[in-house]
Structure 1
Amino acid sequence: MTLTGERLVENMTDAERERAKRVESVLPNLREAAAHADTTAEFPIEHVALLREAGLLGLVVPTEHGGLGGGLRDLAAATYAMGTACPSTALSFFFHNTSASRGLLPLEAIEAGLFTGDEVGPVRAFAEKVLRRMAGGTWMANFASEEVKSSGANIAIATTAAPAEGGWLLNGVKSFGCATGVADTYLVTARVEGTEGADGLALFLVPRDAEGVVSRDPWNGFGMRASNNHGVTLTDVFIPADEALTVPGSFVRMLKMSRGSFVGNQLAISATYLGAAQNVYDFALTRLTRKTFADSGRPIASSPMHQVIIGDMTERLETAYLWIRRQLELETSEPPLLPKAEVYRQWRIAKGDITEACFQVALGAFKACGTSAATMDGVIGRALRDLAMGLVMTFPAERGRLEAAQIITQDRENELFASVPR
């Protein structure tokens, strides 16, 4: 039996395949709930228990911390497979797993000697706490993005953390973060009050029901409607000191350990969109080959027009697979095939090309299947809307290409995060 995740991640090891089987086991439930979740624009709360009981909330947590021991290949296979069933759940699951980077990268930075002396203890304690909680079934929502923008960085942080007796007080607005009101804990990035630049960024574990945490009004999204990504408002939210990582410069130092795609796992967000594109491609091809013309009895797919569209869809889909598989190879190969700067540059271009190709697959399905399949809540309607969101997720393709060109021509490094005044 070929597992869904194996369509993307080829030549899985035995251990990877065992983890992929856990993902396969939840796909029927995700698929069954997808249409209703899109209609209501609400994350299916039963999926939390479903994924927890399958052990998948600890998918990328090392076994020594209680997790399944998976890596980027596992995460990409999982979000791809879930993307074929319910893209909103896949996206939310991806953001949960990004929280693991806030545990894994600090530990790698310690091993690399980027933290010394008294810094090591608090950094290790926070990192291990994140990983143990995820492995234990805590759903983490990773809240970084805000409405404020910086001309030089992808994500600007204006939320502040002010010292208080025994801890910190958080104030700010997080405008985007999947699983709002669903996740058990919000992993919040904030700027320590009185600091400037990315060295002042810190991490905080915020309970969903903490005093001062209020979900923003639900976002009537165009696509990915059931990912609950409307964000939160934080007003004097008290966080104990041992639930925070505030060592100066720790955020920047840990990011140095990522292999290239933003903070080390962004490739898996594109896998979500690729899964959705594969699903709508399969739906369209099945429909066009089974339905026939009334006068000739031949499959609709046999007409020259439809064959042109199908050929274009196939080329776009294969383009997306080539980009993402190459990026996956670059970020997981040992020893590394290319220097980090080149891997990062590749990702800036790859992300946009993948998501644009996936959207074109859905557009082709829409053209080929005609008005009878052009319903808002049908497979094609949902795919068009979900895949359109990929065009603006994290950064548009145009920005990625611009930054890649700047890296090539100006030897300029892109700033990932910046702290800015509100």
Structure 2
Amino acid sequence: MIGERLVEDMTDAERERAARVDAVLPALREAAQEADRLAAFPAGHVGLLREAGLLGLVVPEKYGGLGGTLRDLAAATYAMGTACPSTALAYFFHNTSASRGLLPLEAIDAGLFGEEEIPAVRAFAEKVLTRMADGVWLANFASESVKSSGANITITTTARRTGGGWILDGEKSFGCATGVADYYLTTARLDGYGTAEGLATFFVPRDAAGVSVRDAWDGLGMRATANNGIRLAGVFVPDDEALTVPGAFTRMLRMSRGSFVGNQLAIAAVYTGCAQNVYDHTIEATTRKTFADTGRPIASSPVHQQLIGEMTRQLETAYLWLRYQLDLESSQPPRRPKQEVFKQWRLGKGSVTEACFQVALGAFTAGGTSGAMMGGVAGRALRDLAMGLVMTFPAERGRLEVAQIVTSAKENELFTTAPASASATASAPSPGPRSGSPLEDS
């Protein structure tokens, strides 16, 4: 199984699910170059993944899914990334929709919802999961073009009450499978709320009145993700297609193992799969092709030896970060507190994607001028992996946030309150001249 290159200790059940992924890879690989050239998601891939049962990969069996976990998702997006990174990325975002079902159900079990709230929360969560298991493609729309200085995602799309449901207005700038997915799972802010307590989730049918596609996204890489985004102008969503319990969104997030909804590392697996593919291609090409005068492989030249050595180091670096994060977020019982897992991911995402980009850069250099083609394996990988540097959040932001976490914690250690006995001692008259360093007065 291709996914075993990342998840090395698969169980028998995980291998069975991974076999479904491997079965679709030839079709994904065959369509990848043309999809990149056209900047269009291959329409046939929806049916292909649906027939393989993969749209319900991480849905529990009780809801009709395959019963996979984060380990399965990471293995799947990694394997797809070796064949068609664009499809892998779009597939990742479909699977993130499962969090809108799994996390609310966990929050119910944890007692985070009142008795009067549970029926609505459970009904919506189960609808998410059963639809995915039935082969419905869900595009998960949260990101917007409006940005704030203090948050990765700022929600300005609004939902206002009307008879029997809600009216949505806004624009979503990022979300794969625009015009492809059956539903856009859309995050919006309830009218009258100014905090995350007012965030709600809505099923928006692809062809609903008032839904339109933004201008075509002519991306540098990951071009076949159908990442155009949508506009919502007075879109009506009935009550039973929405989760509008105030605070439901923030309460469900408390149940995730890592950052945000807890499956973000699978996006880094896409890039690692892409890096592995361009690495394999480079090794095969440079060892097969030989110098005309010596007959020795191109790979034997000192320059190529240096390039291959550095590519290998960077690829192994990506694997180390990714496997460690996967272990942190999937081990039972949890090895580290959630805040530490979050901190590790803020470092890990950028570390993985930067390393993967360096692999592609090495492959691009190793191929020389003749290999520097837009549609070549190295050229596509270089463009696709460049997107990893900016998608979700850049490495620089992750390192900044980790530095703030670390230094804030240290600052808190430096300042504390003294027990009452210490205060009494300090206020008592001094018995005589003090001795010691003058620094004690500082």
Tell me, yes or no, whether TM beats 0.5.
yes
Q: C-alpha displacement at 1:243, in angstroms?
A: 0.4
Counterparts of 1:364 and 1:78, CA distance in 2: 25
Q: Which residue of 1 aligns with 2:263?
A: 265
Cα distance in structure 2, aligned partners of 1:402 and 1:243: 39
In the alignment, which residue of structure 2 is the partner of 1:389? 387
Shift of 1:411: 4.1
- Unaligned ranges ≥5, structure 1: 413-422
Q: Is the 8 A contact 1:261 1:267 kept in 2?
A: no
Pairing of 1:46-65 with structure 2 (within 5 A):
46-65=44-63
Structure-2 residue corresponding to 1:106? 104
Counterpart-to-counterpart distance in 2, 1:94 and 1:29: 18
Q: 1:202 aligns with which of 200, 225, 232?
A: 200
Give SS of 1:161's match. strand
Partner in structure 2 of residue 409 of structure 1: 407
Query: Where does residue 304 of structure 2 map in the other structure?
Result: 306
Structure 2 residue identity aligned to 1:264: G
Offset of 1:262 from its aligned partner?
A: 2.6
Q: Is the 8 A contact 1:276 1:387 kept in 2?
A: yes
- 1:153 match: secondary structure: coil
Counterpart among 211, 214, 217 of residue 213 in structure 1: 211
Quick one: higher RCO (CA 8 Å, sep 6+), 1 or 2? 1
| Local SS of the residue matching 2:189 | strand
C-alpha RMSD over aligned residues: 0.8
Choose which of 57, 65, 68 in structure 2 pairs with 1:67. 65
What per-residue deviation string (whole Å, max 9, x for no partner) do you get for residues 141-187 of structure 1?
A: 00000011121111000000000100000000001100000000000
Amino acid at match of 1:127: A
Whole-angstrom distance in 2 between the partners of 1:203 and 1:410: 33
- For residue 154 of structure 1, give the secondary structure of its aligned residue in structure 2: coil
Alignment of 1:202-351 (within 5 A): 202-351=200-349
The whole-number CA distance in structure 2 between the counterparts of 1:46 and 1:170 is 31
Of 128, 133, 147 in structure 2, the residue corresponding to residue 149 of structure 1 is 147
Mapped to 2, the partners of 1:407 and 1:262 lie a distance apart of 16
The one-letter code of the counterpart of 1:200 is G
Amino acid in the other structure paired with 2:363: A
Paired with 2:216 and 2:272, the residues of 1 have a C-alpha distance of 26
Q: What does the per-residue CA deviation read over 1:44-89, in whole Å, with 9 as the maximum and x for residues that have no partner? A: 0000000000000000000000000000000000000000000000
Report the alpha carbon displacement of residue 406 of structure 1 after superposing the two structures with TM.
Answer: 1.1
List 4+ stretches of structure 1 deviating above 2 A: none
Following the alignment from structure 2 to structure 1, what is the Cα–Cα distance between the partners of residues 204 and 409? 38
Aligned equivalent of 2:157? 159
Cα distance in structure 2, aligned partners of 1:90 and 1:261: 21
> Matched residues in 1 for 2:42 and 2:209: separation?
25
Deviation at 1:261, TM superposition (A): 3.2
Task: Confirm or deny that 1:87 pairs with 2:85.
Answer: yes
Report matched runs for 1:114-125 at 5 Å: 114-125=112-123
Pick from 183, 186, 195: which aligns with 1:185?
Answer: 183
Shift in Å at residue 252 of structure 1? 0.4
Instruction: Name 1:170's counterpart in structure 2.
Output: 168
Displacement of 1:205 after TM fit? 0.3
Counterparts of 2:57 and 2:164 in 1: how far apart (Å)? 33
State the distance in 2 between where 1:223 and 1:193 align.
37
Structure 1 CA distance for aligned equivalents of residues 300 and 260 of structure 2: 43
Contact 1:170 1:237 in 2 (8 A): yes
**Deviation readout 1:227-268 (Å, 9 max, x if unpaired):** 001100000000000100000000000001110133110000
Q: How many residues align?
A: 410
CA distance in 2, matches of 1:113, 1:272: 35
- Confirm or deny that 1:139 pairs with 2:125: no
Give yes or no for contact 1:105–1:258 (8 Å, CA) kept in 2: yes
Separation (CA, whole Å) in 1 of partners of 2:70 and 2:277? 22
Partner of 1:417: none
Tell me what 2:29 maps to. Answer: 31
Check the 8 A contact 1:172/1:233 in 2, yes or no.
yes
Structure 2 residue identity aligned to 1:90: A
Structure 2: distance between partners of 1:392 and 1:112: 35
Gaps of 5+ in 2: 411-442
Summarize the alignment of residues 37-48 of structure 1 with structure 2, pairs less than 5 Å apart.
Answer: 37-48=35-46
User: When the two structures are superposed, what TM-score results if normalisation uses the length of structure 1?
Assistant: 0.96
- Residue 413 of structure 2 corresponds to none
Aligned to 1:8: 6
Question: TM-score, normalising length from structure 2?
Answer: 0.92
Q: In 1, distance between residues paired with 2:258 and 2:54? A: 24
Rounded to whole Å, the distance in 2 between the matches of 1:192 and 1:318 is 45
Q: Secondary structure at the match of 1:392?
A: coil
